[in-house]
Amino acid sequence: MMERDGVNVVVSDEIIEGEDWPSLLFTRDDDQVTMPCRDINPDKTTPLDLMIAAFHAIQHFEECDDFLEWADEYELDAGSNMVWNEFRELDAAQWQVQDLIGEEVFRTLMTGMFIEQAINMAWGGVVNSQQD
């Protein structure tokens, strides 16, 4: 879906507001978005792996009620300006990514993630109950 729409994602070496955060660079034609992403696995840097990491980070962001909950989820120092800046950058980037790939594609991918997680959780329950 992403290739068809001309969207590419790579690990970014760009420093956001002077802070060296793990981040992803989304590109489509002449548009680009840099998104902080603490979920990048260094061994998995194919475009698909990076897209999954990005949507996982966005999902965590959307599920958190506020900054403190988000910082706690990643075990970050909520009193740090760097952490607060990253949170703000992620907030802006999630909307920019949605604009870049289109709201319909964005929501389709997010829904797919929720479905996949529900299936994995259900399958885990089946496996655990069979072991008992």
pLDDT at 113: 82
Distance, in Å, from the CA atom of 123 to the CA atom of 45, rounded to the nearest integer, reads 27
Residue 100: which region, alpha, beta or left (left: phi > 0; alpha: psi -120 to 50)? alpha
Question: Considering the domain boundaries, does residue 14 fall inside one?
Answer: yes
Give the Å distances, CA to CA, from 115 to 33, 108, 110, 112.
26, 11, 9, 5
Question: Considering the domain boundaries, does residue 53 fall inside one?
Answer: yes
Give mean pLDDT, residues 36-55. Answer: 85
The mean predicted confidence, pLDDT, of the chain is 84
Q: Which band of pLDDT confidence, cut at 50, 70 and 90, is reported for residue 16? A: low
Indicate the number of domains in the chain.
1
Question: Considering the domain boundaries, does residue 2 fall inside one?
Answer: no
Helix pair angle (103-131, 47-63), 10° resolution: 90
Distance, in Å, from the CA atom of 78 to the CA atom of 111, rounded to the nearest integer, reads 30
- Whether the per-residue pLDDT at 3 is higher than 90: the answer is no
Question: Considering the domain boundaries, does residue 87 fall inside one?
Answer: yes
**What's the whole-model pTM score?**
0.76
3-state secondary structure of 122: helix
- Whether the per-residue pLDDT at 106 is higher than 80: the answer is yes
Distance, in Å, from the CA atom of 96 to the CA atom of 33, rounded to the nearest integer, reads 6
Question: Considering the domain boundaries, does residue 90 fall inside one?
Answer: yes
Give the Å distances, CA to CA, from 130 to 14, 95, 116, 117, 118.
48, 43, 21, 20, 18
Question: Considering the domain boundaries, does residue 44 fall inside one?
Answer: yes
Percent of the chain exceeding pLDDT 90 equals: 24
Structural domain span for residue 29: 7-131
Give mean pLDDT, residues 4-19. Answer: 74
Question: Considering the domain boundaries, does residue 1 fall inside one?
Answer: no
Question: Considering the domain boundaries, does residue 29 fall inside one?
Answer: yes
